[in-house]
Each structure stands twice: as structure tokens, then as C-alpha cells.
Structure 1
Amino acid sequence: MRIDNYGTFAQSRLLSDTGKNGDVSLPDYSDFNFNTKKAPTMSNKKYREAIIAQAKKDQFAGKFQSDSTGFKNLVKSYVSTVSPDRKNIIKDGLTAIFKNKYPQPTTLNLIDYLFGNVKYRKEATDVSYAEFYDSNGEMVASYSNGKWISYGTKAENARESELCSIYNAAWNNAARASQKNSYVASTDPSIGSIDTSV
């Protein structure tokens, strides 16, 4: 799960080759833990069907949640529909930081109604720390010592919890059905019997 703003655990990622803004390498938005706003790829009904189908497939394969690439892809797609536009919040925030000539820590007002704001520490052209906020005032990302951290918003965390609830129920139902079928097979003498008379 992405981290909500009130948690003490964060998803930290090393920099990637996704480009730079000033001297700061940008985060990898294709990473499972670093979402940015995307249009839904299917309706909520189709998402629900896909989540249930993935849970059944994973249970049959002996996988659960993050062990499954299919599950991770579904989470990313499902949650990204309510994600803030982290890509533009970070891009605009870094652009504003590098335009500001003051080396002291400061807060910039970045078209608050659209992009929120950013808090940072900069000396000359070296940014050592920055926080990025959406228009709701929720911190959505931070940059520190060459690493990016993504913080889940309330909407993202609620959507991921919803997906996990659907997935877990379907996975558990598939597991019970599998156990029931195994029990029936092991107690039915006509299944698996070998004719030893020759």
C-alpha cells in the first residue's frame, strides 16, 4: 500500500532514468508505489470482475496479492484513477524551486487551486529536500538525499482498501472451493482407484 500522511512507514525508491528537472532526477511513475492520475481503463463493474478473476487465478497458482504481477497491475490501474496528478505537481514544484534564487528554506505558492504547494531546502542549485502537496493540502511525495517517497492520499488508500477487500474475499472463496474439491476427491473411492487385478 502507498503510505498515508499519518503513517510512519513510507515507500522509498531510488532514482531512475526517467529524466531530470534541474539537478533532480524524476521518480519512475511506472513503479508500483508511485502513482499519478490516469483515466480508468474500464468501468467499476469490469474492474470488479477483473479483480475477482485475478484472485481466482492467483489462488490456483498459489500466489497472493503482491506475489502476482497481475494483481499489482490491477492495483496500479485501479488506484491511479483517483491519484493526484503527481507528475505535474512534482514537475511544477521543481520548476518553481529552481527558478527561486533564495537558498533558505521557504514555501512557494504554486497556483494553489490547481497544484498545491511545495516546501523545500536548497543551497545554490542543490536541492536536498522537498515536499510536494496537492490542492487538498495532502503531501503526495517528498524528495530527500536522492530518493523519492510517495505518500498515499485518503482517496488512494480507500480505493486500494476496496480493491483488497474484493480480492481477498474472492481469493478465500476460491481457496475454500479448492479445499472442498480436494476433500471430495480424497474420500471418493472411485476417484483415483487403480485396478490391481490382472
Structure 2
Amino acid sequence: MQITRDNYASTQKMINQMLGGTSSSPDPYGTDYGNYSLRYTPTNRPFTKPNWSNIATKQSFPAMSEKEFDSAIRELARKEFSSDKKDHKAIQGLMRKYQSVVAPDRKAIYEDSMNKTGGKMNAACMFWNSKGDKSFAYHPITGRWSVFPTEEEQDRTRQFYSIYNDELKRLNDEYGENARGKISMKQIAQGSGELTGSNSLQNGIGNSIDYSL
């Protein structure tokens, strides 16, 4: 569940009740989740520092060129078609690199806040940019970090999946849905010529593909 300032209190009560505590117990760290005025108020709340390899943030240089990104995204789509399994970890990792081209400097925002709180988690458990826009947050109950994507990052995400799905559609059109999980990456790289003749029929891939649903 996404924790917001509006539902933080009710969620905290629920957690306390589940753990056998009193529903009215105050947060011992004085957390008021999402309260902008508390963005630089230090608390003693324990927390795990963000892992910047898992959070999209501005980079000095893009991880690769746009052409290389396109090839890498299509390669992941081909791997899904070949194995009939989506590699979520690899997709998320490449997505973060793809988003980082337009991502705000969340690391700088975090370090600025930490400098002002003496290295302690602020009472809002949230971090804003210089314009007052929410950038990312530490969830005081789940103990996880999450980002608030910008419009540019959301556009970038749509571009990523547009390329990914375009490649899957191309493969479906070329080899047929029944070829998923039955074709090697080498065959895909070499082209449809590898899937003609007796070999393709023996593998269940060929001219007699049932397109009905």
C-alpha cells in the first residue's frame, strides 16, 4: 500500500493493533509523514540509507547512447520471447538507467537534507526539490524508499515500454505466438530463415501455427 500523509495515522494504528500495542500510541520519533514544514527537522528514527543503484537519479553522463538503449531494450524483449519469461530485475535495472537521463538529482537533494539535519532522518520522512515538488521518500512503516516520478520520467517510462512492446510484437508477427519459449536467441539473431523447413516443424514452430484464441 502507498503510504501518504493522509493515511499514515490510520495505517500506524493498524500496525500497532496487529502487534498487540495500543492504537493510540504516538510515534516515538515524532514523524508526521509528508509534512513539508518538517523537511529539515531531525529525528532519531533509524533508517537504511538509500541504495542509489536502485533509485533513478541524475548522472553526469548517460549510461549509454539512445541507440544503445534501444538495442538493450529490444534485447530484453527478445530474451522474454525466447524464454517465455520476463526478467523483471533486468528490466527495472535498465529502466532506472533509462530514466536517469531525465531524472532529478535525488542524491543531491538527499545529501542537502542530511547536511541540514546532521545526518538524521527528517520528521517528514520525505524529500523535496528546490521548487517544493516531492522527489522521493522513506516509508516509516515499511522501511522502504520510493520515488515520485516527474512527468519527464513518466514519459521516459512510456518510451521504454513502447520500444519493448514493439519488439515483442515484431517477434510475434514474425514467428507466431506459439514460438514463445521454443526459439533460441541465436535463431532470433539469425532471422526467420532458421525457422523454415523440417527443423521448425519438428520443434512445433512453422507453417501450421494456430492463431485462434
**Which residue number in structure 2 is paired with residue 155 of structure 1?**
152
Cα distance in structure 2, aligned partners of 1:127 and 1:136: 18
Q: 1:171 aligns with which of 168, 172, 185?
A: 168
Higher helix fraction (1 or 2)? 2
Distance 1:135 1:59, change over 3 A: farther
Aligned 8 A contact 1:58 1:68 in 2: no
Q: 2:74 aligns with which of 52, 55, 60?
A: 52
Aligned 8 A contact 1:128 1:143 in 2: no
TM-score, length-normalised on structure 2?
A: 0.55
Taking only the aligned residue pairs, the percentage that are identical comes to: 28
Cα distance in structure 2, aligned partners of 1:54 and 1:43: 17
Higher strand fraction (1 or 2)? 1
**Which residue number in structure 2 is paired with residue 16 of structure 1?**
none
For 1:83, the aligned partner's letter is: A
Structure 1 residue ranges, 4+ long, deviating more than 6 angstroms after superposition: 185-188
**Which residue number in structure 2 is paired with residue 132 of structure 1?**
127
For 1:91, the aligned partner's letter is: E
Runs (5+) with no aligned partner, structure 1: 9-21, 100-124, 193-198
Cα distance in structure 1, aligned partners of 2:132 and 2:110: 14
Distance 1:148 1:162, change over 3 A: same
CA RMSD of aligned residues (A): 3.5
Runs (5+) with no aligned partner, structure 2: 8-43, 180-194, 203-213
Please state how far the C-alpha of 1:54 moved relative to its aligned partner: 2.1
For 2:146, the aligned partner's letter is: I
Distance 1:130 1:173, change over 3 A: same
Q: How does 1:25-40 map to 2 (within 5 A)?
A: 25-31=48-54, 34-38=55-59, 39-40=61-62
